[in-house]
Structure 1
């Protein structure tokens, strides 16, 4: 009998190129987890691939095999029955030896391995653990040749990636570099025990009143026959609410039913508290406690509502009886080299979501099943998680060993994640049915329900999305909704706006619709859409070392934008909307950011308007592509790799306020075949609310302000408004107003006031902006409120469009990229401004 111990093998490691037999080949590794690019950079054997054109200089790394080894001396075995090595993640084709004996062959970076090594360890001296990592790139090409029966079709990265269970984004994507990492990317632990709890989880149901909870706690034990286990449920304060001790089944399974009265529920942030509990499993051998395992859980009822309505079939989430407009983001891995990410870095990212009033994040299917700290923090802060399985933009093979690996991967990760209350939906992957539609692969959703026939079709991976993965989710985490893909419309075409979720890329990609049309082209749930923008200059200067390359069309800038045709697309949106009055690089950067910010304004406000009211929720959510970057680049991210927020982040934040006033005039694109601009404007004003109670005494103030003079073109208006709870309240619609100069020359400004406090502002400007003149003095005044420089006061005598303060890591603002309206003073909090640092803005 022995207490369970677990030691991380973080030090004592060396690495080398596998075929290098020289005595000097081995070099010390700083720490585990790691990947080879980090270790090579430490010795200056490769340049930083994030800088300049260096990505192209390190491609040879992915074509080599790499070896890691560790020398360690374990503590005495004592009375432990077993000693095991736990490999939480090996990237990707790994051959593991202990003291010269093969113990593991791994070919899937998403699977952990627990290997009993009791008989192989030398307890009186050193032990050598060796791991050889084959080139995943070369191995993938071999696998494709070995399976000519499959038609490999895929977008982005080498198509051979489809046959390998390695993070798809490592192969290069349209926002990230091709960096074929290898190495022990997650911890390796040496465990000693007589008995251990492998896993503990629960199933539960809540009564209709959401007050009473009944369920079952399950545990799986690896160890001695005759053990007992104590299963318990505790609240956050540590009070034991349920406890039961019972024998472990000879096969290691155990379960106990529990009931909980007056349960404290877990809510998304802004809707209630994030109440969490703990389930404990403690195993006893000969009445002595030898291992304790605890999991943090939360109780909530999460539903995907798909009722028929006047728009087709609804698609929105309901949590604890509250309908949730899921405004948020799509999440990609935050670094190309995951071991470099700290727990605090993850927390900073999730805190940004809360700061930006975002409710949901979608873990995209071309990255990784994220680190535990990611989901832990989402639990703590109330971020809903849409979790994709790791299949992206391809027709994947289905040969038997591959399917076996996929099932092991899915089962292992659903088991790892199932205790997190934040996870409310799984999807089979990302845009795989795009491939099916684009290439005309066979798919008869209604007529063919035989999974075995799918394996023989031209779209065999349907078997994965519609049979294998839903079976795993049903068996391992039955309370969580599953969808075959994102987007997916219940077997209908993937751009059908009446059902399912859609990726709306007709803005930017496709026919490049004006971003002003976002509201008109939304679906029931908009799970991807976006507009590119450059990061702030502080980030650009970190990846461009040559000042001569600091212009928008330079080789280095083009190299750091992986999007196909980005110059034509981004340039087109800028030229259609804004006056390019100078070739100054900083001004071009600003214009790209302003385009992105304006696009997000139209998307979020328009689709949140479609949230509507119960039984008529035309749009259930909006998830921007994307929140973050895996390297410093030009992309669709609204926050760059260094956590520096672009103006679009703030635009989304304002659009997602709990109470958000919105004004929109019907814009006429009079340059598209019309002889003259509109003589009359028609405008709408509405208030979007996520509050669960009515706001009975709100005041809406509306002004029409001349862009040229800053004076009111028409008398201001005031409206008493009763804002309906969790709905869209229309204040006025289709109101005509004569344009005094024969065309739009004024800004329509709306301000929502509750209890004498300004809750929300919004301004609608004439489109396009390029016809407006801002050359004269706008009377802009920016001053610090006090000597501590923690708060800015901003005002102007004439309307100012898109005031952007330059940001850098550590320098943050409570708002940015906002409009300044005469007669209004804006209070902006500033954090991290250094002594004597100049405040730059444009």
Structure 2
């Protein structure tokens, strides 16, 4: 076991964390996530025997585990106890540690470990009872921050807890159950299979129609991370175990949850924060509670004191809420999203002072930032807006959806969280959506978002199912929701709570009852065929309202105004998931610019990870080809065999070897997401005409090594799509697109208005129209010079005079430079050469952005003999140039190697592309491009 030595800063756990990544034991070492953090300075010798300060003892080491019988009891001939390296942990990680199962992430091993989920498992640890000396009124609690999922806990043979919700923290008073001080106690946790218990619950509740998408039906009845049943990007890996820290707390007085209510006034010359209350739930003996507010730079801001001496006099041990008086703070540094200002953080410290006036019984801290958040949903000539306004400034939200970073969640370290979020921030992204089929992430995740200025769209943990609403389920959900909201509410980065992911889409598909405008009685919703409406439109918004200071709540994603929640989404109201590219109608991705909405919270395109990652999960060289058994097994998307090959072959000259096909999928993915981001960002428009308020790609990350929509793979190796998003979301970015002529679909003859019965692959040559614009997220107007060139793909020469325009770039919006600009055809009726349209923007004589539009499909072009050169400028820096337009130049990346840019196009006569490289000698780089 480990005894925590208290300190007085939030970094007090840092020494006991590991920095290993992707090893067999990626545990979040000693990471505490209680409702509030507790730590105190050392006791003086004089007070040590008179009153007990708050002490925490982590039960992290000394654990062992074994397989049990179906009833959870040990049986003759049962497996032996095996040591557990450290808790938090999960059974799959511990079995791998002892080589009892293969790595489920490699080859087809996921199938070989399925049996683990159907067995009962038991964990146990022995620990000494704490010494409490002569202290009066001492309480000893066992705190379980999270047990996955159906767990029976015994202390010295006595059942003290039965848990059935992975997301709930439990605090058990064991003062009278511990053996004498210094004696050894035995703590045992028996875990039952989640799938079996889920099926039993379905049988027990025949009144409800359990509908789930993506997975086997049992998950809808279980409050467990839904993706562990498998998803269209992740394996079936039904985990169990003590997935969060377990600790022993000894206290006479402690502080529970903390809440800071405030209002930000930005109408004057400088921000003013009116703090209406600092609230803390206090337990045990108290004499006085003090609250202090400190800036992140160490400056003291204010102090509150409350006298609760009467509680000590009566010897009572109450649970009461202490509320401070209000305060007005002038000239406050506000918290801003990345790119719009600083991320100033403050720290609230609460202390309980003993009756002697000097002994600090316990101290709790909360980090917070002050900001004003609004979700602007106003009627306009497009429909109804949907965008965020922070501190009275309209913010375009560009970012990614987030799934858990590992299928074995206890392996995600604080360092790994930080790496992921720094990667997102460095990619010019300012929002992350925590998807509802995963977990409420660790405090480290949100703390990093606070510090990096990343706005968090936080789903509650419901996804793609019709969930039950029997009383026990609702009680569990409310406890889960309150704990999650209380834990996360001080984070300034969290700007929205969302009820679920895609649950409303079941309404139309299965004919469920949903009378939004007529039925306004929550009790009647419980009796309908869509009872979970009660959760999303009554229970959860009530919790958010009661527990937060006006944080925005949104019933579901996608969701409009109650009438646009089903599969026929109205793009003019609410947020949408745009899956008619890849899924649904499987439209060409070139249609994405016209397929946006008021806020696109999901869309995506699949792409392979880099070859080194593929080689890690495909260990047999004979399986390393597109469409092999292993490659298909690691792509969980339904119909991916047809969809991915179709999208690639429609656009590029298909090659069958793995390196070539990998590259083409990456370039195609990058083209698709880049086109969407730049085109929908263009629709940010101007104040009062915000047609699109944000774009979130599905998805940033993977939970295992796989083929998916992720723009960065499991090992944090970036795909070219990551860089294309970075370029599209640059603070000032130029965009250029030409009119799309679909060469895959029959078109009506324009003269006779009838179906010709044929496609016309030459139309893109004969009719060339393009648009050019500049997006600016800064809050100041700029002046720039836009140069548009027309460069032959065959010769590399300019075939037309450049279009040059001086541009007055408006702040925080999009400036249209040219719309439907038509290129006149020659007398022959068509150009003799294909050409790219290349736009570059200069501000103050310096190039700030460029973009290229290619004639499509790329497969019609001869892109051999490009004259590409990669020149070493100095150690760690290379320049890349080409004699002819070059499509999709990609360095082959690997774990531990970072490049500043990748997946870019090269235009002759343009400024050389300079790339900074870390983690490998430039001579070791490998690269390719389309047509090589």
2:687 to 614, 638, 641: 614
Shift of 1:671: 5.0
CA distance in 1, matches of 2:78, 2:195: 27
Alignment of 1:689-700 (within 5 A): 689-696=776-783, 698-700=784-786
Shift of 1:834: 4.1
Whether 1:198 and 2:256 are equivalent positions in the alignment is yes
Structure 2 residue aligned with 1:791: 877
CA RMSD, aligned part only? Answer: 1.4
TM-score, normalised on structure 2?
0.88
SS at match of 1:608: helix
CA distance in 2, matches of 1:312, 1:386: 23
Listed one character per residue, the Cα deviations across residues 695-731 of structure 1 (whole Å, up to 9, x for unaligned) are 13x1111110000000001012321111100111011
Alignment of 1:164-175 (within 5 A): 164-175=222-233
Listed one character per residue, the Cα deviations across residues 15-43 of structure 1 (whole Å, up to 9, x for unaligned) are 00122534861010000100000000001
TM-score, normalised on structure 1?
0.98
SS at match of 1:668: coil
Structure 1 residue aligned with 2:235: 177
Whether 1:598 and 2:671 are equivalent positions in the alignment is yes
Shift of 1:221: 4.0
8 Å CA contact 2:536, 2:556 repeated in 1: yes
Aligned length: 837
8 Å CA contact 2:273, 2:328 repeated in 1: yes
2:61 to 2, 5, 11: 11
CA distance in 2, matches of 1:410, 1:25: 38
8 Å CA contact 2:282, 2:321 repeated in 1: no
Shift of 1:680: 2.9
Shift of 1:812: 1.3
2:333 to 223, 243, 264: 264
Whether 1:232 and 2:292 are equivalent positions in the alignment is yes
8 Å CA contact 1:85, 1:190 repeated in 2: yes
CA distance in 2, matches of 1:522, 1:492: 18
CA distance in 1, matches of 2:574, 2:532: 20
Alignment of 1:469-488 (within 5 A): 469-488=540-559
Structure 1 residue aligned with 2:363: 292
Listed one character per residue, the Cα deviations across residues 275-318 of structure 1 (whole Å, up to 9, x for unaligned) are 00011110112122111101000000111000111100000001
Rate the CA distance shift 1:505–1:294 in 2: closer, same or farther, 3 A. same
Whether 1:415 and 2:486 are equivalent positions in the alignment is yes
Structure 1 residue aligned with 2:622: 548
CA distance in 2, matches of 1:685, 1:251: 63
CA distance in 2, matches of 1:359, 1:206: 22
CA distance in 1, matches of 2:646, 2:744: 15
1:90 to 134, 138, 147: 147
Structure 2 residue aligned with 1:539: 613
Whether 1:677 and 2:677 are equivalent positions in the alignment is no
SS at match of 2:347: strand
CA distance in 1, matches of 2:898, 2:686: 36
Shift of 1:226: 4.4
Structure 2 residue aligned with 1:466: 537
SS at match of 2:574: coil
Whether 1:826 and 2:913 are equivalent positions in the alignment is yes
8 Å CA contact 1:739, 1:745 repeated in 2: no
8 Å CA contact 1:200, 1:217 repeated in 2: no
Structure 2 residue aligned with 1:567: 641
Rate the CA distance shift 1:670–1:589 in 2: closer, same or farther, 3 A. closer
8 Å CA contact 1:707, 1:746 repeated in 2: yes
Structure 2 residue aligned with 1:274: 343
Whether 1:55 and 2:110 are equivalent positions in the alignment is yes
Structure 2 residue aligned with 1:189: 247
Alignment of 1:792-807 (within 5 A): 792-807=878-893
CA distance in 2, matches of 1:668, 1:240: 63
1:26 to 81, 87, 105: 81
CA distance in 2, matches of 1:838, 1:414: 46
SS at match of 1:574: helix
Alignment of 1:209-228 (within 5 A): 209=268, 211-228=271-288
Structure 2 residue aligned with 1:301: 372
2:850 to 754, 761, 781: 761
CA distance in 2, matches of 1:186, 1:236: 29
CA distance in 2, matches of 1:657, 1:413: 34
Alignment of 1:329-368 (within 5 A): 329-368=400-439
Whether 1:396 and 2:451 are equivalent positions in the alignment is no
8 Å CA contact 2:53, 2:361 repeated in 1: yes
Listed one character per residue, the Cα deviations across residues 393-427 of structure 1 (whole Å, up to 9, x for unaligned) are 01100110000000000001000000000000011
8 Å CA contact 2:286, 2:353 repeated in 1: no
CA distance in 2, matches of 1:586, 1:225: 67
Shift of 1:244: 1.5
SS at match of 1:720: strand
Structure 2 residue aligned with 1:99: 156
Shift of 1:258: 2.1
CA distance in 1, matches of 2:822, 2:858: 21
8 Å CA contact 2:164, 2:223 repeated in 1: yes
8 Å CA contact 1:92, 1:106 repeated in 2: yes
Whether 1:126 and 2:200 are equivalent positions in the alignment is no
Structure 1 residue aligned with 2:95: 40
CA distance in 1, matches of 2:804, 2:919: 39
Rate the CA distance shift 1:612–1:835 in 2: closer, same or farther, 3 A. closer
CA distance in 1, matches of 2:492, 2:922: 43
Whether 1:703 and 2:789 are equivalent positions in the alignment is yes
Listed one character per residue, the Cα deviations across residues 659-692 of structure 1 (whole Å, up to 9, x for unaligned) are 0001111122245334442423111110011010
CA distance in 1, matches of 2:581, 2:883: 35
Structure 2 residue aligned with 1:505: 579
8 Å CA contact 1:233, 1:279 repeated in 2: yes
Listed one character per residue, the Cα deviations across residues 405-450 of structure 1 (whole Å, up to 9, x for unaligned) are 0000000100000000000001101000011121110000000000
Listed one character per residue, the Cα deviations across residues 134-184 of structure 1 (whole Å, up to 9, x for unaligned) are 111111111111111100111011111111100000011000001110000
Unmatched runs of 5 consecutive residues or more in structure 1 = none
SS at match of 1:510: coil
SS at match of 2:841: strand
Whether 1:321 and 2:395 are equivalent positions in the alignment is no
Shift of 1:836: 5.8
SS at match of 2:176: helix
CA distance in 1, matches of 2:368, 2:403: 25
CA distance in 2, matches of 1:755, 1:6: 58
Whether 1:451 and 2:501 are equivalent positions in the alignment is no
CA distance in 2, matches of 1:129, 1:560: 39
Listed one character per residue, the Cα deviations across residues 193-251 of structure 1 (whole Å, up to 9, x for unaligned) are 10011122201001233611112343434433442100111111222211121124854
